[in-house]
Amino acid sequence: MYVGKTIEQRSDVASFIGTLNRALKTSVLYPPESKLPSEFRESCWVSLRKSLADMGLVNLEISRSEISFDGESVYSAQDEEISLASIIHRDGIRSLSFREGIPREEFDSVFAAILAVYARSEEYEDLANLLWEADLDFVDYEAVDNFTVTEMSLTSTIRPDDAGELQYNDIIAREQEDGDFSGLDLSELSSSTLELFSSSSMMMNLQRFKSEENDAIIELIRNDQQVSVEFAAIDLLFDIAHGEREKTEFLKTAETIDSVFNRLLEAEVFPLLVYLLGKLKKASDDVDAAVPHKAQRFLESYHRSGDRIRISHLTKILNRSEDQNLEPLQTYLEELDWSSLAQLVWMLGELKYYPARKAVCSILQEKGRKKPEIIAGAVYDSRWYVVRNAASILGEIATEKCVAPLKRASEHEDERVRWEAAAALGKINSRLADEVLITLLHDESARIRRTAARHIVRRRFEPAYGSILSMVKDKGFKFASPSEQKEFLNALAATGGSRAFSVLKKIAKRWTPFGKEACKSLKELAVHALALIEDDRVDSTLEGWARSSKRNLSEWARSALKRRSRDKLGREDS
């Protein structure tokens, strides 16, 4: 009676196949002088010997997407078009057996044959031929000469050239048995990878291209793993981290990722940094719920990329020159989430040059929509220019949560801050914002008063009528600038409607002392403000003035009637 293999035995065979897969992939990815592929190959050999010593025979069944042992899958790649199983199956191999006593040389021959197929080497024919030529004594295989219709349909999309399109999702560094090796030494990723990580002339040169060229080049590099060892090495590190079963070993790999990140930041290789940030964010979201410590550790690394230390370093870079290309660094900042908002607000206050401040403001506007209260904290900063920038950002976010901090900014001692707050409040469609604008009608700055009045006109906020009327009736109003008089008279008409008719008519008909040009200007502005009021009395009044013998009043009235007619046609068209 046949007794099936134990769970431990099947696990050992799965470990052998997994290590074989990783050894093949690293052998393609890394140059011959690198130690990493040879360490994987050694681990694979040790794993195979352990299984053979225990069972005497390891017989593997090969399908297009799986490798099975003792009737159970020990390797599956259902979602991968190109995989270890599909490449062996493609050349007709349906089973592969290893017997106890296999010498190292014969194992190396089998490995070299599969690698030749995997790597599309010049010696590539097909795997069945390569195994036959190797004249193996301890390895048996079954191959089919003719594919069934089903097999042909399953393999029709796989071409020899596709074998080089490596998938890195199942490369795992650590083995739990004799094949264990101590950690991942970054200096062994390739003979030049470490140098490229820290001072890659290729990657640094990317920052000298135009932004649209950068995007295209970075995309090409990401897709071409033969050109960019760095992107593939990052993939490898994350696959190692995902595959670690022991928490202590995972934490070591996570520390390695952090170390790579810091070295890339020091070298200012922003395309790789952005790629690594994306991997951290995705890893923290996708990790198995059964291993929460992994998700937490990835998230910590992701958030650390936007902490004060890193943001300080980036600030120094931005403060070097006003004319530098900001695109690579801006892309990095855009990858951060809201947890970095406070540090970005701090950065804003430290930046020397306008282009950099503008770029950071743009990022804060976008990221601050979810957490405007973090941006709001900047209105308490002692530096006026930080408060002004915060007010500008809150105006772009333009939600009711922004009104309270903007009210505080509107009371700032610096006129530039108060004006920015007025402009920002004008963008918020809220009664609370309009009420703050009413208070700014009495500001000591004429520019701020005009800005507040202009926004009130646009929204026709009727509760503002009383404040505006008191300003217009004030004795000093006639000494205000024509631009301020215009804004307030228009605001009076917009908020008061018919109530403002008699006031504006009185100003327009007021007697003007000879030579008082300022009084004439005020009267003309009142006539034009009348045209904003929806009241039948306005038409009859303006038409009467248009026929007046007083030349100035007649010209103003005709001009106001034309404007009123245009406005009416515009409303009908809309």
CA quadruple 78, 83, 86, 88: dihedral, nearest 10: -140
Tell me which of 114-118, 412-416, 543-547 is least confident.
Answer: 114-118
- Taking the chain, what is the end-to-end CA distance rounded to the nearest angstrom? 89
Q: Which long-range contacts (CB under 8 A, 24 or more apart) does 409-414 make?
A: 409/379, 410/436, 410/439, 410/440, 412/384, 412/387, 413/384, 414/384, 414/387, 414/388
0.75 exceeded by pTM? no
Reported as a single tens digit per residue, the pLDDT across 276-294 is: 999 999 988 876 666 788 9
Q: Does 106 score more than 80 pLDDT?
A: yes
> Which tens digits make up the pLDDT trace of 154-167?
443 333 344 334 33
Name which of 252, 159, 191, 186 is nearest 31 in CA terms: 191
DSSP for 491-550, written as a single string? HHHHHHGGGGHHHHHHHHH----TT-HHHHHHHHHHHHHHTTS--HHHHHHHHHHHT-S-
Which domains does the chain show, CATH number per domain? 7-181 (no CATH), 368-449 (1.25.10.10), 460-574 (no CATH)
Average pLDDT score over residue span 45-65: 92
Minimum mean pLDDT range among 19-23, 144-148, 259-263: 144-148
pLDDT tier, 320 (very low <50, low <70, confident <90, very high otherwise) = very high
Note the pLDDT tens digit of each residue in 189-221.
444 444 444 433 333 343 344 455 455 545 544
What amino acid is encoded at 192 in this protein?
S
Model confidence band, residue 519 (pLDDT cutoffs 50, 70, 90):
confident
pLDDT band at 80 (very low <50, low <70, confident <90, very high): low
Residue 520: the pLDDT is 81
Give the amino acid at 293. H
**Residue range 388-442, pLDDT digits in tens:** 999 999 999 999 999 999 999 999 999 999 999 999 999 999 999 999 999 999 9
What are the phi and psi torsion angles at 75 (to 5°)? Answer: -155, 130
pLDDT surpassing 60 at residue 244: yes
Calpha distance 15→473 (Å, rounded):
90
